[in-house]
Amino acid sequence: MSVSDVYFTDFRCKIGVNQQKKLERLCIAAGLDSIDFAGKFVAIKLHFGELGNLAYLRPNYAKTVADLVRARGGLPFLTDCNTLYVGSRKNALEHMDTAYTNGFSPLSTGCHVIIADGLKGSDDVEVPIAGGEYCKTAKIGRALMDADIVISLTHFKGHEEAGFGGTLKNLGMGGGSRAGKMEQHSDGKPYVDHARCIGCGACARICAHGAPQIADHKCTIDHAKCVGCGRCIAVCPKDAITPPFDTSFDRLNCKIAEYAKAVVDGRPSFHISIVRDVAPNCDCHAENDVPIVPDVGMFASFDPVALDLACAEAVNRQPVLPGSVIDTAHGAHDCDRLHAAHPDTHWQTAIAHGVKIGLGNDQYTLHTV
């Protein structure tokens, strides 16, 4: 059985050595120099953070990666695709405004921001997925596919549908155009428990498609309009909105892995994951909750599956932070931290499917830098 190499460094910094220098050393130790960057367009795929969320990665990390690429003759740019839901990143103009507001400007990072799927999220490329079971092709943002090399720079955190948001989700869901995101979410259409629903309308306000309908102080989801993005599940204050069956999130995780494979197949790629501010929910939220575990460190690998697994296992070795959702809502400390934050999810599904389709390995050697 093949074993992948994953490299790790913690956040401890001696005088004179900062986190950016440690990230640089990590990337070099993990083999970044084996890639020929000279004259190549390099997409640095990351999440710019939703306005109001403060858990997203600081732009300093992006600058470090961009500087490494530029020093090796590469032409880096920062990129992400537009979102399905109502928020500050649903079209390219608002998305770029959000990126600049959150610090990802050319002046601070040294490279430009390009929204990969264009102005309205419709500029994509249909990419064949080798070994795809749920999707035979993937709709990926054109600028991301136009790049010669892909580097993923991921903030590792929890996620209300995938279990965690890691490298696979950054590449797969994040790399999908709006149509691609709809395809990945299409099996996860939720329903409302009217006994719990208070008709507050939070779900209706967050939905970009008008699917939640409020009548007589109760919500009903119109499945003809719903795209299954799951934002309503996250914002419901009474947990009244739930997925229709246990396997819907598993299918989503499988599709995410397949989309990630479409992004990286056939060209060099390198992956970095920063495990800090591990909030229970995605950075797509306009807020961030108390982290569920302490900051862990930085990881890097050529294998996105092994990288996600290493990060998840590292998170599960950490103590539960007092006051976090795991501590206050579940009181569970001897548990899978990511599953405890979202008991309806099974993050292991994406790992297993990634191995099955040849995206990466679930066996790895961890090297500390």
pLDDT digits (tens, 9 = 90+) for 48-96: 999 999 999 999 999 999 999 999 999 999 999 999 777 899 899 999 9
Q: Which region among 62-66, 182-186, 359-363 has the lowest average model confidence (pLDDT)?
A: 182-186
Residue 186 confidence class, pLDDT cut points 50, 70, 90: confident
| Tokens 């590449």, residue located | 171
Question: What is the rounded average pLDDT of the residues 13-30?
Answer: 97
Question: What is the rounded average pLDDT of the residues 304-326?
Answer: 97
Rounded Cα distance, 276 and 283, in Å: 12
What is the Cα gyration radius of the chain?
Answer: 19
Partners of 363 in the β-ladder? none
Write down the pLDDT at residue 188.
64
The CATH number of 191-242, from 3.40.50.720, 3.30.70.20, 3.20.20.70, 3.10.580.10, is: 3.30.70.20
* CATH number of this structure's domain 4-186+246-368: 3.40.50
Q: pLDDT by residue (tens digit) across 242-271? A: 766 545 899 999 999 999 999 999 999 999
Contacts of 254 (CB under 8 A, 6+ apart): 133, 134, 349, 350, 353
Q: Under a CB-based contact definition with an 8 Å cutoff, are residues 43 and 147 in contact? A: yes
Write down the pLDDT at residue 1.
66
Structure tokens at 229: 């993005």
Partners of 213 in the β-ladder? 220
The pTM (predicted TM-score) of the whole model is 0.88
Q: Return the beta strands (E) in the chain as ranges.
A: 4-9, 41-45, 75-80, 113-115, 124-128, 137-141, 149-155, 157-159, 163-165, 191-192, 212-215, 218-221, 241-242, 269-275, 297-301, 364-368
| Residue ranges covered by each domain of the chain | 4-186+246-368, 191-242
| Tokens 């004179």, residue located | 16
Q: Under a CB-based contact definition with an 8 Å cutoff, are residues 38 and 342 in contact? A: no
